[in-house]
Homo-oligomer: A and B are copies of this chain.
Amino acid sequence: MRATFLHAPGDVRVEEIDDPKIIEPTDAIIRLAAACVCGSDLWPYRGVESVDEPMPMGHEYVGVVEEVGGEVTTIKPGQFVVGSFVASDGTCEICRSGYPSSCAHRVFMSQVGTQSERARIPWADGTLVATPGTPEPDLIPSLLAASDVLGTGWFGAVAADAGPGKTVAVVGDGAVGLLAVLAAKQLGAERIIAMSRHEARQKLAREFGATDIVTERGDEGVARIKELTGGLGAHSVVEAVGTQESMHQAIGSTRAGGHVGFVGVSHDVSLSGEDLFFSQVNLLGGPAPVRRFLPELIDLIWQRKIDPGKVFDLALPLDQAAEAYKAMDERRAIKALLRV
């Protein structure tokens, strides 16, 4: 089969490799219906994370189950499935408490790679959720989004305690940030402020439910959010970037007693204990426990109540994965889908 590898920063290649096989009796093999590139794939692509040897790329996936291991009981060949970007056993105390992405037996799918024709999914029963049937082709992008960006934006909004009566601000206008806007809207937020200076993204943010757009960043962005919230800051802030500036912007934009949900993978971020102490905000972040939300997200997509697939503004054949990375790196595309 064909699969995507990163050989060095900027060097993406689609190569022929052996088909994946069942290794553990809890595995499933799926044939992907579509793959895609994530903002977090850009960290090693840009050399921010080191690339010591060719890395299998991709961690988002939807597709049809081809084969399951001997201990898999709920997932069956022929089912169309969506899974989280973190495989989890689904049975441990951490999974049961709603944090499958921190499962003691978790496997980050980025170690497996899913920008490929097929993929081995560990812990199939704990990780995969079958759709009610074979989806219409136009639903596939949205179902694929549920695997990570939608689930991650959703977790950001849940961690930020978005809900009725709340003002929610979203730092970051990538696909995750935009889908955090969608999530905040679904969760009933009263006012949703998207922080973006990019016209196409502002437009999509408004489609997803943003009521206000703030173009300022850093201290000026914080000042603008305070100005819009009676000097207090937002109740709920989603951080969807992962840099020092964006974390400061998120914490500074939150009122005392408010909540910050941070889902941008932190890179060289250092937080002052004193600032955290005196800001008195609730902080929760990390790899999104997407599996917790999947049944609800699949249902919303299946009923066509949400259309998160709109974040894919570029679709290319798998063979052109290199161009997909380039377009996202240059911010020509919000998110690129790969047809397999």
Q: Which residues of A contact B (CB under 8 A)?
A: 93-94, 97-99, 101-102, 104, 230-232, 242, 244, 247, 255-257, 262, 265-274, 276-287, 289
Q: Within the assembled complex, what's the spacing in Å between the Cα atoms of A230 and B92?
A: 11
A226: shortest Cβ distance to chain B, in Å? 11
Chain B residues with Cβ below 8 Å from A280 are 99, 101-102, 284-287
Secondary structure dominating the interface of A: mixed
**Given A94-B232, A283-B282, does the pair A266, B277 have CB atoms closer than 8 Å?**
yes
Contacts of A278 in B (CB 8 A): 286-287
What 13 new A-B contacts, CB under 8 Å, besides A266-B277, A277-B285?
A93-B255, A97-B257, A98-B257, A101-B280, A102-B256, A104-B231, A262-B276, A267-B273, A268-B273, A270-B272, A271-B271, A271-B276, A277-B287
- A272 contact set on B, CB distance < 8 A: 266, 269-271
Chain B residues with CB under 8 A of A279: 286
Cα distance, A282 to B99, chains bound together (Å): 12
Residues of chain B lying within 8 A (CB to CB) of residue A262 = 273, 276-277
Q: What B residues does A284 contact at CB under 8 A? A: 280-283
Report which of B97, B102, B255, B274 forms a contact with A266, defined as CB distance below 8 A.
Answer: B274
Complex Cα distance, B284 from A279, in Å, reads 10
Q: Which residue of B lies closest to A288 (CB)?
A: B280
CB-CB under 8 A from A268, the residues of chain B are: 273
Q: Give the contacting residue for A99; candidates B98, B230, B256, B283; CB below 8 A.
A: B256
- Distance A271 CA – B104 CA, assembled complex (angstroms): 23
20 A–B pairs (Cβ distance < 8 Å), ordered by A: A93-B232, A94-B257, A98-B257, A99-B256, A102-B256, A102-B280, A256-B286, A262-B273, A265-B277, A266-B272, A266-B277, A269-B273, A270-B273, A271-B272, A277-B285, A280-B286, A280-B287, A282-B282, A282-B284, A283-B284
8 Å CB contact of A257 from B102, B274, B283: B102
Contact B270 A277 (CB under 8 A): no
Most buried by B among A94, A97, A280, A282: A280
* Residues in B neighbouring A102, C-beta threshold 8 A: 256-257, 280
Chain B: minimal CB distance from A168 (Å)? 16
How distant is the Cα of A150 from the Cα of B271 in the complex, in angstroms?
28
The complex places the Cα of A28 from the Cα of B152 at a distance, in Å, of 50
* Cα distance, A230 to B96, chains bound together (Å): 15
Q: For A285, what are the chain B residues with a Cβ–Cβ distance below 8 Å?
A: 276-277, 280
